[in-house]
A and B are shown apart, each in its own frame.
Chain A
Amino acid sequence: MTQEERKRLIEQRLKKRYLKEKVFRSIGLLAVLAALSMLFILFATIILSGYRSFQQTYIRLNVLLDKTVIAPSGSANDDDIFSADYVALLKATLKDMFPEVSSRQEKKMLYSLLSSGASMQVMDFVMQNKNLIGTKQTIWVTADDDFDMLIKGYIKRNVPEEERRIKDVQLKWIDKMMAQGRVEKRFNLPFFINGDSREPELAGIRGGLVGTFYTILVTLLLSFPLGVATAVYLEEFAPLNRWTDIVEVNINNLAAVPSIVFGLLGLAVFINFFGLPRSSPLVGGLVLTLVTLPTIIIASRAALKAVPPSIRHAALGIGASKMQAVIHHVIPLAMPGMMTGTIIGMARALGETASLLMIGMVAFIVETPADILEPATVLPVQIYLWADSAELAFVERTSMAIMVLLWFLIVMNGVAIVLRNRFEKRW
């Protein structure tokens, strides 16, 4: 082989190698792009189907706060105000606005344009303004979900009447109200301050948020100390023998166990054996502790391993005991890594539903829990329940609740990244 030939051969091979390198890189890039575009599609569909529920349709009514209905005994005491028939007041108001409506069927259709929560809004108004009883007042009340869907364009006006949930007569009334400027879209505050409801226009995530808070609090308070203590013992103190090997293998296995299994365990142990209250954040937190513990232990052990042995040797060398070396030097240095692991574990717990199914947290609960023993749901369960509801308006509520959940997850993961960048030391 001449010099010339050899050179050519090398150049050819070089070309091939460069090409291979290019292909390899572009495959990697494609994978990243595919993942990103999936993420983008996910976010786009959720935001597109949910952003409209930041607003909710309200109707302006001039309600006559009839004294004979609200305070029949003459004085406006709280009991009378609570038990008064506000539906009758609203019906009278609508009758005033549409005197031409007379048949029973049509009246029912007219009243159904208002949310069933409207009477409660009138009651709240009266409770706060007792001096206005007997006068005519302007009150904004929530519109029914079908009305809301029409205003937002989900119910189309051009489909045949029998396929539309808003009928032609109702359209006529709605148009009249709109012409009078009585219909307005406002910020959907009830979504954030109400508990669950079967009426989409009244349903809110407060119960789910508070339930999530309590559940995660219980999880954090139990799993962080338990996880860190386990990791420190296994990493720093435990002798290397068959037993610690078995424990280690088991922890790694537990991290991969499906969460529904932990739910079954929770049902058998915490509810049936210990008799803790079903559906409570306490039991939820205990189950989620089991779900997150392996993650926290594994992350904490990795963080402890990353602390160089020279730190331990130096501490021991100047006379510190083993415990002093660990508590004063190793743990503080490993803390950012442990925290990151814990936050990622908590983020997993935040999105957990399957394990909560077995312990009764998948339930219709309106009241906001006041402590960790009262029945509660969590945010992902709320999403699951709404996604299963028949009403059209729950579709956008579901997407909105997903946005809230995603926001929390992003914030938590963001905090984890900041902690890591700010406090983590590299050697």
Chain B
Amino acid sequence: MRKLLVASLVFMFLFATSAVSYAARDYINIVGSSTVYPFATVVAEQYGKSTKFKTPKVESTGTGGGLKLFCGGVGVEHPDIANASRRIKASEVEMCGKNGVKDIIEAKIGYDGIVIANSKNAPLMKLTTKDIFLALVKDVPTDKADELKPNPHKTWKDVNPELPDVKIEVLGPPPTSGTRDAFVELAMESGCKEFAWVKELKDEKKFKAICHAVREDGAYIEAGENDTLIVKKLAANSNAFGIFGFSFLEQSMDKIQGSVIAGVEPTFDNIASSKYPISRPLYFYVKKAHVDMIPGIKEYLKEFTSEKAWGPDGYLVDKGLIPMPPAEREKYEKSVNALENLSL
């Protein structure tokens, strides 16, 4: 008993002193998007196995949260790389600059498709972006300019007479998710622009308030960031639809099917050729000041930008990444490995 007390007192003292002496770091610290996380972790693992460096630590914090940590400053206590499921914003670059993070390297890694899927037991849906918008928006614009009414649509048939008479029930990501941002920007916005007066709105804030608002009356259910869970729920409830990344559809083709959007099926080829309307580019950002400070960053960039990783036959494709066209791959491979600065 007394020994334990003494031991823990010594321990507390050690802890107090160790706080000051913590300095070097010999592994790469990566934060950011949960969509890029599955790809970054695979690269990290391969890199850890094939080089003598330690395997990087990859944290899934969401794009915004990751960039905030990334822009916190220069030094071992700040992350070296931030993954993002959208491009970095000018405001974020500014925030970085304020904290001394001046030189940032941008790497685009490929594309990701967002699918709207339902159970195989239900009929395949053919949707347009307008259908999606009308089914999920909070307030529907009317034909008269500047007039909105609360979304009256209860079933898919209310939205479009050609669709089945099934209650609208969509499971999707919460507002903190990058998938949600991309879905709102790509699918809802393009459906929203079908209304002439909304399209001509000059006031961007108002435009976003109309087009980006998702209904809150229970038809859209925020299902958390866990896409596996959504897939399970879809398999159990054949009336429900789910919104998630293409890689999850690919893993569960026996249970669920992706709806056809604007006449295009969500397939690998259609997303790669950007025929499929709801797809987005994925990025990661590297802090140039850390390249010489943390061992192995250059080698990590080389691994990520190699054909065996992000090429059409690479291992990232097996995990659901949609590769960039060859010319784009070449361009980014060059600029990343030459550590060229980001230009917005």
Task: Enumerate chain A interface residues (CB-CB to B < 8 A).
Answer: 82, 108, 112, 116, 120, 156, 159, 162-165, 195, 197-199, 221-222, 224-225, 274-279, 282, 331, 335, 360, 362-367, 373, 375, 387-392
Contact = CB atoms under 8 A, between A and B. Distances in A.
B226 A388 contact: yes
Contact of A364 (B9, B49, B57, B313): B57
B55 A366 contact: yes
Contact of B48 (A366, A389, A390, A391): A366
A116 B48 CA distance: 13
B11 A222 contact: yes
Contact of B38 (A198, A275, A360, A375): A198
A112 B37 CA distance: 22
Contacts of A120: 49
B228 A279 contact: no
Most buried by B among A159, A198, A335: A198
A82 B250 CA distance: 35
Contact of B248 (A159, A335, A387, A390): A390
A400 to B, nearest CB: 16
A360 B31 CA distance: 9
Contacts of A222: 8, 11-12
Nearest to B15: A282
Given A224-B8, A364-B58, 8 more contacts: A165-B251, A221-B11, A278-B29, A279-B57, A279-B59, A362-B59, A365-B55, A366-B45
Contacts of A282: 15, 18
A374 to B, nearest CB: 8
B44 A390 contact: no
B271 to A, nearest CB: 16
B327 interface: no
Contacts of B254: 156, 159, 163-164
Closest 8 CB pairs of A and B: A366-B55, A363-B59, A364-B58, A163-B254, A364-B41, A390-B251, A221-B8, A225-B8
Contact of A275 (B5, B77, B319): B77
B59 to A, nearest CB: 4
Nearest to B37: A364
Contact of A363 (B4, B60, B248, B253): B60
Nearest to B315: A116
B178 interface: no
Given A364-B37, A364-B58, A389 B228 contact: yes
Contacts of A225: 4-5, 8-9
Contact of B44 (A275, A276, A366): A366
Most buried by A among B11, B37, B228: B228
B41 A198 contact: yes
B4 A390 contact: no
Nearest to A280: B22
A225 B1 CA distance: 9
Given A120-B49, A159-B254, A390-B227, A365 B57 contact: yes
Interface of B: 1, 4-5, 7-9, 11-12, 15, 18-19, 22, 25, 27, 29, 37-38, 40-42, 44-46, 48-49, 52, 54-55, 57-60, 77, 225-228, 247-248, 250-254, 313, 315, 318-320
A169 B11 CA distance: 61
A221 B44 contact: no
A165 B249 CA distance: 12
B116 to A, nearest CB: 17
**SS of B interface (majority):** helix
Nearest to A202: B45
B8 A388 contact: no
Contacts of B248: 390
Nearest to B255: A163
A373 B54 contact: no
B225 A388 contact: yes
Given A162-B253, A363-B57, A364-B41, A224 B320 contact: no
Given A364-B57, A390-B320, A163 B38 contact: no
A390 B19 contact: no
Contacts of B38: 198, 389-390
A362 B60 contact: yes
Contacts of A365: 55, 57-58
A108 to B, nearest CB: 7
A199 B45 CA distance: 9
Contacts of A360: 59
Contacts of B226: 387-388
A274 B22 CA distance: 11
Nearest to A386: B228
A276 B7 CA distance: 21
A391 B231 CA distance: 12
Contacts of B228: 387-390
29 contacts: A159-B254, A163-B253, A163-B254, A197-B45, A221-B11, A222-B12, A225-B9, A275-B22, A275-B77, A276-B22, A277-B22, A277-B25, A278-B77, A282-B15, A360-B59, A363-B59, A364-B37, A364-B41, A364-B44, A364-B59, A365-B55, A365-B58, A367-B54, A375-B57, A387-B228, A388-B225, A390-B38, A390-B247, A390-B320
B251 A274 contact: no
A313 to B, nearest CB: 24
Contacts of A362: 59-60
Contacts of B11: 221-222
B4 A224 contact: yes
A335 B4 CA distance: 13
B253 A375 contact: no
Contacts of B49: 120
Most buried by B among A159, A163, A282, A390: A390
Given A163-B254, A388-B228, A274 B19 contact: yes
A105 to B, nearest CB: 10
A25 to B, nearest CB: 38
A276 to B, nearest CB: 6
A276 B14 CA distance: 13
Contacts of B48: 366-367
A163 B45 CA distance: 29
Contacts of B1: 331, 335
A392 B253 CA distance: 11
Nearest to B2: A327
A388 B227 contact: yes
A290 to B, nearest CB: 14
Contacts of A277: 22, 25, 77
Nearest to B22: A277
A354 B217 CA distance: 29
Nearest to B257: A163
A289 to B, nearest CB: 11
A198 B319 contact: yes
B223 to A, nearest CB: 12
Contacts of A331: 1
Nearest to A112: B318
